[in-house]
Amino acid sequence: MTTVSASDELAQAAFTFLQEQLEDAQRACITSSFQAEDVAVVHMARQIRPEIPVLFLETGYHFPETLTYRDRIAAEWNLNLVNVEPEITVAEQESKFGILNQTAPDRCCGLRKVEPLFRALGGYTTWVTGLRREQSKTRANLQPREFFTLPTGHILAKLSPLAEWTTRDVWRYAEQNNIPLLPLYDKGYTSIGCAPCTSLPFDPEDARSGRWSGRKVECGIHLQAK
């Protein structure tokens, strides 16, 4: 029995889509930053596949609140949490290259997010995300089901069941299903990543305007979809 509110047609449609897509998926995973939309998708996916691996990018730069919240949700929901780590530690990276999140944020994201995730995704055929079109212009053409090609040539089915959702839809779903959200939202953050590259939004019309001091809007992962 699903706990998705049947009175919400949007939520029911997303759940049904995900259920149909995961039914025959051989090796599926879901990535989660433990922001609101990601937690909503995890909430749906675990009802369909309770043991689905939940991949979290452990960059070494996260807010303490994010890690505490991750551990809380993972424990309460009995998630199959997989912490995906870079090949080198923060200390090793800073010793070798300096503070890349200040001098070369693209390279920092590449080392600590993009490359580790792409290595991890090589073991799967289906990838579930919490991406939404509303989040940024770079995601405006997002489709619920796309194909994603890794640098190795490995192709995955990439699922974004919340593609059409607004922020209000996400928060409504959380409220209807009694899902606690990351406490950083209460401090005014609207898009949350690594602490050094996340600030309060400076544009009230752009939830991601607080990311990377406005220098970019993507870490690089989702710009390579095919």
* Residue numbers annotated as active site: 219
Distance CA 181, CA 204 (A): 20
What is the rounded CA–CA span in Å between residue 202 and residue 185?
Answer: 15
DSSP string, 193-217: -BGGGB---S-TT-TTTTBGGGT-S
CB-facing half-sphere around the CA of 59: CA atoms within 13 A? 26
Q: Whole-angstrom Cα distance, residue 64 to residue 9?
A: 36
Q: Rg (Cα) of the chain, in Å, rounded?
A: 17
Distance of alpha carbon 117 from alpha carbon 57, whole angstroms = 7
Q: CB of 38 within 8 A of CB of 66?
A: no
Q: How far apart are CA 212 and CA 194, in angstroms?
A: 9
